[in-house]
Every structure is written in structure tokens, then in C-alpha cells.
Structure 1
Amino acid sequence: MKRPPLSPETLKKYLANECSDEERHLVNEWYQQLDEPADEPFTDADQDRLYNRIKAYLSELRKSDEPATPVYGLWHYIGRIAAVLVVGLGILYFLYQKPDHVVEQSVGATNGWVTFKNVKHKIVPYQLPDSSVVWLHPNAELRILHSFHKRDVLFSGEGFFEVKRDPSRPFVIHTGDLQTKVLGTSFNVRAIPGEATVKVSVATGRVEVSDVQMKGRVVLKPEQQVVFEQKSMHLEVQKVEEKTTDKELWQSASLVFNETPMAEVAERLMQTFHVKIGFEDDGLADCRLKVDFTDQRLPEILDMIDTLLGSTYRIDGDNITLKGQGCK
């Protein structure tokens, strides 16, 4: 179970640079040890993220004192989630999460390419320099030029892209012999090494997909996907229906839980999404969840559950395993 959060008073002192050396050490140590080994240095980038999230938390905390005003989650990637404390951990825990730190980064010495690879067994968000966000599946790999002046990326694996709109700079994804071009939209790309096809599925906006030889070109709308046969270079457009159940991981759903046991929450998620969910620890299945997920995708829902329960999850294909010490 994750350690309990620090007090708002300590955080306010930290922001105002009025805390003692011991208090500053406690804040930095807390932020450092949530997801990373204790011997990893605390960087300037960590400092900036910590300051921003403390400010956001204290701002929301002040709003919570106003009567009849709902308190919304602090999650940068989730809007309109009102979460109620479940196990005494509180939403302050999320303040310190560092999703980009579960991505392995390497820089080419000569060609200027930077490589990001998800080395964890969960789906993690990574923010690009233009504020676009990519939700990387396990082993997914993204390569960008260090300057990112041209928004061209090389991608393999599976990921959900939320592209920041910029009409002057189209966002282009290269996956083998296929390229996907957008101005600003959200879509899923599945380009697993060794698989015979590449799939691009659109959630919002429009996406232009073509092969590198420009023999085939299609423009996709929401609820459409293209299947690219790599051997024949054939593009086939298919409809992706927005179903109530059996959704893909990248499709959004609205679910409400009111003091619902996690065993029932898992059952609802399995009914809604095309996955199987199990528990590594029996005690976690008895935890109760009171939360409103509005138009959220499964990776976002799983991350918020981890935040509230202090748990972790592992994904392997369509199988998801939740792990945690449970609730007393």
C-alpha cells in the first residue's frame, strides 16, 4: 500500500519556500519514491512537475470549501471525474504520479532521434513537446526528432494518440509502409511487429491514411478504421460501431459506482470492454469504490482506480491483473 499523503500545510510551505530542510526532504522523497527507485536523482523536471501539481491540488482544495460545489479530479488526462475517498489514501496521491517516468528514453548520438519505449506492463501516457499525448501500450516505441520542429514520429506497437491541433504543422505518424496524417484529433494505432496488418481507428476528428508509395489513400471519420495489409499494400476501410458493451480499450464509456465492491467493478469493466480482469490479491476484490467515470477510456479508468486504492495493474494482451494489499 502506498504511503499516506503529506498535509496541505506542508505543501503550502513547500511552495512558499518556507519549509525546513527536513520538510523539503520529506516532500522530495515522497515524490521520488512513489514509482521510482530510491537512488534515482530528483531532477529539475521533477521539481517543475511537483510544483505544478501541488498548486493544482491546493487550488482544488480551496474550491472544496465552497458549499454545493463539486470537487473534480486532479488528473491531467481525465475531465469530469468526481471521486470520493475510498481507503483513506485520498486523491493527493495522484499529485505525485510521474507517468512519463515509466517510459524508457534514449537519444541517438548522431541522427538526433529520441526514442521513447514503454517498459512497463501497463498503458502509460507520454506528453510530447507540442502537448500532444500518446497512451503507449506495453513495449510500444515512439521516435521523434529532438527538435520536434516537424511533427513527424516513427511508431511501432499500439498506442492512442491525442494530437494537439496545429494547422500549420500536420502531425504525421510513420508505421512501416503506412503513414497517418492529422492536424488535431484522437485515434488508435496498432502496428505490432510481426503482425500482418496495421490498424488505424478514429475516435474524434478526421485522419488521412496512405501507403508510402501513395498507391492508396483514405480519409477516416469517427467510428471508422483502416486495415492495412502489409504484404499486398491494400487499404480496407471498416466501420467500428460504438457499442454499449465489448468496447475497444480506446473507446470511451461512462460508468458510475456507488460503494461498489471491486469484484463487481471488475465485472462491469469486463462487460463494457473487450478484456478479462482478475485479482492477484483477494483483499483488493472487497474494496468499495464510489466514483463517476464520464466518457473515459479503460486505461484512464484503471489509472484512477490505482490512484484511489493504491493498487497497480498489469496488462498482457486482453488480460488485466489488479494487485494491491486491499482495504481494512
Structure 2
Amino acid sequence: PGFPDINPVLFFDTQDRLWLVWYTVIAHQWDTSLLMYRISKNYLRPKGAPIWSWQNVILVKPGDSAERGIQPNDRFVKSVERQIKEYANYLENTIEDEEIRRQSLAKWHEWGKSMLSKAKGEDMIRKGLLYDDKGGYIEQDMGYPYFQRMGWQTKNKAVIIGKRLILPLYSDGFDFSLMAITDDDGETWQFSEPLVGPGNIQPSIAIKSDGTLVAYMRDNGPPPKRLHISTSKDNGMTWSPVRDSDIPNPGSGADIVTLKNGHWALAYNDTEDGRHSLAVSISSDEGKSWSWTRHLERGNKGEISASYPSIIEGHDGTIHVVYSFSFRDSKGETLKTIKHANFNEDWVKEGD
């Protein structure tokens, strides 16, 4: 009591146990978020909520050991540093207009400087030891990994690849994403390299027929406002450079599910500005094209808001979407609720 509990996600593990994962905001700042979870084996009761048999914290440790401070070759720091440089090269080589290119690079360098400072622990400088390659060390002030380990948040469900469960995470402090990975149903966890880009958060994962994972991420960065995208060919440990997709995104959450027939269903705000339109699109070619779209909500900007969708497929093939919805009534007051829609793929293909 007294602490905000945010963005709960539900999913089953390989033992058919029900997981509830969320984050508690310790000091009312996003970068003080702490990942929590509960597990239930008794959730198919005729009445009442699941009986939760276990509750604990997921401790996130994406970098190397740092008992005496973050070392210069820390793998998390090196990955962030490399991806900042790669994205700068991408901007340099793809933006034709000289002035826009200059402004974009200046903004990215400033953004990258902030991300790297946090990765190095420069927000928490304490006495430590700087080790050399021969095992020697010198005493000096060192950064400690508070930002590496705190502030990770949930938004979308986990996916399972064989015995591996992958839980998508993001950080509003870093403004990028990370994957929490367990091969033993949560007994132990490891963490992917970070997915670093301009405000790519709240990842959701689709699965190709060859096992490639595709992460779509909310765009909290500069124009063009598109869902960010990255792929993994090693079950989520490493990821391709984060890039813009062709799918519009106004800086809002989206969610994707891989259907049993191999098609992908994406629930998202299909605008670059505003959450007044919420759509479901179907891809039959693993994201190369989105041939069918139908809207769950569509209204005037400022009058309605439909956002933060979560999408799954039931055992019978029914697609379910839940999302936040608000609207103004006849008195001009804003009313809020959570909506649930269920339909099949053919309904989407019929269009609006």
C-alpha cells in the first residue's frame, strides 16, 4: 500500500503456470521502478481470482560484475556505446537534407551522451577499484550500476521459444529496451544486450517461421513517428540495429501476437499524432506487408482516446484485445474505462 503498481502483464510459462508481472515505483520516479511477479497454479476456479502461491522480485543485472565499480569493458556499457555510434552513422548516411541531418545528429549526440552517462553509472559515483588486465588495480572514484539495474518496466506479454521464456522490458530512464530471459521458468534470469535507439520502448515480440524474433517498439523519439523494429536470430540474446518501420506510431503502446496459422496480428494506434484511432492489422507474410486493417475505435482527436492495447489468441482461434478508453460525455466530462473486444481473423479482413 502507498506505492504505485504499474503495467501488469499476464502470461503462462512452460509448466502452464500463470504469471503476473508488474513494477512498483519506489520513489514516484520511473527510474526507481522495481520488477515484481506472482505465480499461480490454481487459476481455473469457478469463482474468484487466482490463488497466488509465490511472489518475488526480478533483479535485473544486464552488465558485468561491479562490486567495486563499473569497469571500462563492461558489456552493457560497450553495447550502448557501440549502438550510439552505429545510429549516428545511420543518420549520417540516410538523411539527405544537410540542415535536417545536422540537427538530427546534434540531438542524437546529446541523447547518446545522456544514455552513456547513465550506463556508466555517473549518476552514482563512489569510491571503487579500477582493475587492469593483469589483475592489479588502483583506488579511484567509480560509477555504480544503479541505472543499469533499476527502473526496468513491463508493458507486453512474454513469448516462449522452446523452453525459453522472453519477457520484454524497457526503461523510461534510458528510453530503450531490454529482454529478460529464463530457460528454467524463472529460477534464474539472464538479460539480452540492450536495444538502443531514439526512444524505442515497450517492445512486443512476433515470431517468424524460421525462429527469428521481431520486436516492435513504441516511438518516443523524434519524427518520423513510426514503430521501431529490431530482430534477433539467437533467441533474444542479441538484436539487430533499431530502425524505423513503415508503421505509424504517435508515441503510444502497441502489441503483436503470432497466430497459430503463422499470421501476425498487430493492435496499435495507426496515426502519427494522437490516440483517437485504434486498429488491428493482419500480416500473412511475417511483417513484409499488412494487407488487412479494421478499426476498433475511430473518432476525433480530443474527443476519444483508445490506447495501450494488449492482444492474444485464444485456444479456439478467437482474437482478444483489451485497451484503455476515454471519451467526453454530453456534459463535457471525461470518462474512462477498459474495453474488451473479441473477433476472428476474418472479421479483420472484412475491413471497416
TM-score, structure 1 length as denominator?
A: 0.31
TM-score, normalised with respect to structure 2 = 0.29
Task: Select the structure that is richer in helix.
Answer: 1
